[in-house]
Amino acid sequence: MMTTLLAWLIAAYGTSQIIVYGSIFENFRQSIHRWGNNPLMYFSGIGKFISGLISCMMCTSTWVGFTMSFMWSPFVNYMGVHPALGVFFDGMLASGGVWAINAIVEWFEKK
């Protein structure tokens, strides 16, 4: 049980790390930032929202958790929560778990 939950959190951390910092998404992130910062573009408000989302580990990991919940949900499988609520709680779990892992990693980077 605990191993599966830890693997789920590490997968959420890895996915969030790649989206926010990974070089593979660098061009995609720059395109989104340009879209969000250009008021003349269509739907620039959505672009601004997504631009902010992919700049923040806590924000990105929330949405990663929502998405990962559709593949496997810790709250549904371990606690028997209704799947609709499980998606919400999994997003919150991913956000908190990724924040904790990221804080530990940043602490080691400063040392």
37-68: pLDDT as tens digits: 998 888 989 999 999 999 999 999 999 999 99
Classify residue 50: in a domain, yes or no.
no
Classify residue 47: in a domain, yes or no.
no
Classify residue 79: in a domain, yes or no.
yes
Q: What is the reported pLDDT for 56?
A: 94
The pTM score is: 0.89
pLDDT at 17 over 90: yes
For residue 5, which of 72, 89, 92 has the smallest C-alpha distance? 72
**Could you tell me the CA-to-CA distances from 52 to 82, 86, 94, 111 in Å, in that order?**
30, 25, 18, 29
Q: What is the reported pLDDT for 41?
A: 86
Classify residue 52: in a domain, yes or no.
no
Angle between helix 44-53 and 57-68 (nearest 10): 100
Domain span at residue 71 reads: 2-24+57-110
State the first-to-last Cα distance of the chain, in angstroms, to the nearest integer. Answer: 33
